[in-house]
Amino acid sequence: MSDTPERPVDGEEAEQSGFVSLGLDSRLLAALAALGYEEPTPVQRQAIPILLEGRDLLAQAATGTGKTAAFALPMLDRLVREGGERRGVFGLVLVPTRELAMQVAEAVHRYGKQAGVRVLAVYGGSSMGLQLRALERGVDVVVATPGRALDHVRRGTLALADVKLVVLDEADEMLDMGFAEDLEAILDATPDGRPMALFSATFPPRIAVLAARRLSSPTELKLGASRAMGAAPEGQGRVKQTAYVVPRAHKLAALSRVLDLEDPTSAIVFCRTRTEVDEISEKLNARGRRAEALHGGFSQEQRDRVMRRFRSGAADLLVATDVAARGLDVEQVSHVFNFDVPSEAEAYVHRIGRTGRAGRAGSAITFYEPREQWLLANVERLTKKKIERATVPTVADLKARRLELTRASLRETILGGGLDTFRVAVESLADEFDLLDVAAAGVKLAHEAAGSPGEDEEIPAIPVPPERPRFAPRGDGPAPGPFPARRGPRLAGAVRLFVGAGRDAGIRPADLFGAITNEAKLPSRAIGAIEIADRFSLVEVPGESADAVIEALRRTTLRGRKVLVRRERPAPPRR
Binding site for ligand AMP (CB under 6 A): 37, 40-41, 44, 63-69, 272-273
Strands of 61-140, DSSP E: 91-94, 119-122
* Minimum CB–partner distance for residue 171 and ligand AMP (Å): 15
Distance CA 28, CA 141 (A): 15
Is the CB of 64 or the CB of 480 nearer to ligand AMP?
64
Question: Residue 87: what residue type?
Answer: R
What does the alpha-carbon distance between residue 436 and residue 449 come to, in Å, rounded to a whole number?
Answer: 20
Q: C-beta of 123: minimal distance to ligand AMP in Å? A: 17
Closest of 73, 76, 146 to residue 118, by C-alpha: 76
Choice between 37 and 367, CB closer to ligand AMP: 37
For residues 294 and 505, which CB has a smaller minimum distance to ligand AMP in the complex?
Answer: 294
Q: How far is the CB of 44 from ligand AMP (least distance, A)?
A: 6
**CB 22 within 8 Å of CB 66:** no
What's the min distance (Å) between Cβ of 456 and ligand AMP?
28
Give the nearest distance from C-beta 277 to ligand AMP in angstroms: 11
In DSSP notation, 288-323 reads T--EEEE-TTS-HHHHHHHHHHHHHTS-SEEEEEHH
Smallest gap from Cβ 364 to ligand AMP, in A, equals 20
- Rounded to 5 degrees, what angle do the CA atoms 4, 8, 14 make? 140
Give the Cα separation of 261 and 484 in Å (integer).
48
Report DSSP state, residue 518. Answer: H
Minimum CB distance to ligand AMP smaller for 48 or for 163: 48
**Which CB, 245 or 494, lies closer to ligand AMP?**
245
Element (H, E) at 495: strand 494-499
Please provide the size of the chain in residues.
Answer: 575
Residue 355 · residue 334 · CB < 8 Å: yes
**SS3 per residue for 197-251:** EEEECCCCHHHHHHHHHHCCCCEEEECCCCCCCCCCCCCHHHEEEEEEECCHHHH
Which CB, 40 or 480, lies closer to ligand AMP? 40
Return the axis-axis angle of helices 67-82 and 26-35, rounded to nearest 10°: 150
Bridge-based pairing state of the strands 565-567 and 494-499: antiparallel
Q: Which is nearer to ligand AMP, 65 or 518 (CB)?
A: 65
Q: Least CB distance from residue 516 to ligand AMP, whole Å?
A: 23
Nearer to ligand AMP, 64 or 178 (CB): 64
Taken in order 206, 211, 212, 214, the sign of the CA dihedral is positive
Question: Measured from the CB of residue 100, what is the shortest distance to ligand AMP in angstroms?
Answer: 9
Residue placing its CB nearer to ligand AMP in the complex, 44 or 145: 44
Smallest separation, CB 7 to ligand AMP (Å): 15
